[in-house]
Amino acid sequence: MHNNQLLKIAKDFGSPVYIYNSETIIKQYKRLNTAFNKVKKVKINYAVKALSNISILKLMDSLGAGLDTVSIQEVKLGIIAGFPAERIIFTPNGVSLEEIEAVAKLGCQINIDNLSILEQFGTKYPDIPVCIRINPHVMAGGNTNISVGHIDSKFGISIHQIPHILRIVNNTKMTINGIHMHTGSDILDIDVFLYASEILFETAKNFKTLEFIDFGSGFKVPYKPGDIETNIEEFGEKLSARFNEFCKDYGKQLTLAFEPGKFLVSEAGQFLAKVNVVKQTTSTVFAQIDSGFNHLIRPMLYGAQHEIENISNPKGKERFYSVVGYICETDTFANNRRINEINEGDILAFKNAGAYCYSMASNYNSRYRPAEVLWHEGKAHLIRKRETFDDILKNQIEIDLKPKIKAVKV
């Protein structure tokens, strides 16, 4: 998208605003599919938590994707968007047996990541096939906040507990139709991922009723010019060859599954915010915008770096700015970053804002969540309205706290 198109969206829909380019999403989906075109059966389940807008889900449906969900609410969003239950996998963590039962009744694929629930579910529903999430004890991504396959992670059943899994399966007579792992986000070292995959293949040999193996996702996308990313083509070539070899030894053609979120939508998104104030202090020039970590928390939560461009003055002389928000907390998006000269009223564009940005937004400081716009086939479509004060009050209940004064007899 060109800067003039982005500026028009900011003018038409106000700021701050999230914008997603459907062409980028489609390109990324096709790229991943092509990387594994040597495997007969491939299933891409979009990770709904990355960006759960109904219109985005409908786009994924049109591409032929399935859905990876982590809550019954995400399951229901998928069904409303048109996904049949059999194309939805439910991979929760720490939820109640009752929630898993409710999703199972809808007909979704269940993925269980702890021994207690596995035994309870298998005892009550031995005829419902389930997938098992394995923790391979492999650190991927280098950041414990986004790496979920290490030994201290709350996710998955340890590979050292395979004998316990087999005992439960044998006692309950339940069917295991899938094996799954997810090591975390921002995977750069393909060899580390392939190493974890070998652990999954070894685990899979213990189960004779498999239909699919789910390798998770976590592929790194570039966050700034020249940034490194996962070489998905090389990875596809290497894992495809190994997967086909495993299927031959297993005696059955299985489905190779993935659950990408960031890889599909991150680069498609941009977040536009207006500069309220340019503030000079003794050592810093602050560009203070009409947003904060209530809209984009990743830089504060994960230390994520989003490229920031002044689309109102793209050819201006570069100066050093610290870009901060209007929240009554420290909400710094960038420290002493080179950005084209900023003036009050300019629109700044935050790149790579498609994944885990709006979906993590809040009403902190009683601020409204922004609008969302989908750029599709050359047109801007509003896909979520900006919140209003009525939304802030919507679920609040006002009670009468006035003291009741009793009359005093004289």
Tens-of-pLDDT digits for all 410 residues of the chain? Answer: 899 999 999 999 999 999 999 999 999 999 999 999 999 999 999 999 999 999 999 999 999 999 999 999 999 999 999 999 999 999 999 999 999 999 999 999 999 999 999 999 999 999 999 999 999 887 554 444 434 444 567 888 999 999 999 999 999 999 999 999 987 656 667 788 888 899 999 999 999 999 999 999 888 888 777 777 888 999 999 999 999 999 999 999 999 999 999 999 999 999 999 999 999 999 999 999 999 999 999 999 988 889 999 999 999 999 999 999 999 998 999 999 999 999 999 999 999 999 999 999 999 999 999 999 999 999 999 999 999 999 999 999 999 888 776 666 66
Residue 405 in tokens: 């004064």
Contact indicator for 1, 32 with CB cutoff of 8 Å: no
Is residue 328 among the annotated active site residues? Answer: yes
DSSP 224-277: STT-----HHHHHHHHHHHHHHHHHHHTS-PEEEE--SHHHHTTTEEEEEEEEE
What is the DSSP code (8-state) at residue 385? P
What pTM value is reported for the model? Answer: 0.92
Helix intervals (H) in 266-371: 298-301
Nearest to 235 by CA among 266, 189, 196: 189
DSSP state of 74: H
Q: Where are the alpha helices (DSSP H) in 362-401?
A: 389-393
**In terms of Cα–Cα distance, which of 257, 302, 236 is closest to 91?**
257
CA distances from 58 to 53, 124, 358, 383 (A): 9, 34, 17, 12
* Nearest alpha-carbon partner for 223 in 322, 356, 316, 329: 356
Question: CB burial class (10 A; 0-12, 13-18, 19+) of residue 237?
Answer: middle
Closest CA to 157 of 113, 207, 208: 113
Name the catalytic one among 108, 131, 247, 328: 328
Looking at the DSSP assignment, which residues form a beta bridge with residue 135? 158
- The confidence score (pLDDT) of residue 154 equals 82
Rama region for 300: left / alpha / beta (φ>0; ψ in -120 to 50; rest): alpha
Strand partners for 8: none
Element (H, E) at 3: helix 3-13
Among residues 304, 288, 294, 300, which one has the least CA distance to residue 351? 304
Please list the residues that pair with 180 across neighbouring strands. Answer: 133, 214
Separation CA 102–CA 124 (nearest Å)? 13
Rounded to whole angstroms, how far apart are CA atoms 281 and 193?
47
What does the radius of gyration of the chain's CA atoms come to, in whole angstroms? 24
Q: Are strands 347-350 and 269-280 parallel, antiparallel or unpaired?
A: antiparallel
Predicted confidence at residue 338, as pLDDT, reads: 96
Phi/psi-derived region of residue 365, left when phi > 0, alpha when psi is between -120 and 50, beta in every other case: left
Compute φ and ψ for 116, nearest 5 degrees. Answer: -60, -50
Indicate the DSSP class of residue 207. Answer: -
Query: Please, what are the domains in the chain?
Result: 36-260 (3.20.20.10), 269-393 (2.40.37.10)
The pLDDT value given to residue 149: 43
Question: What is the Cα–Cα distance from 209 to 211, expressed in whole angstroms?
Answer: 7
The whole-angstrom separation of Cα 278 and Cα 239 is: 50
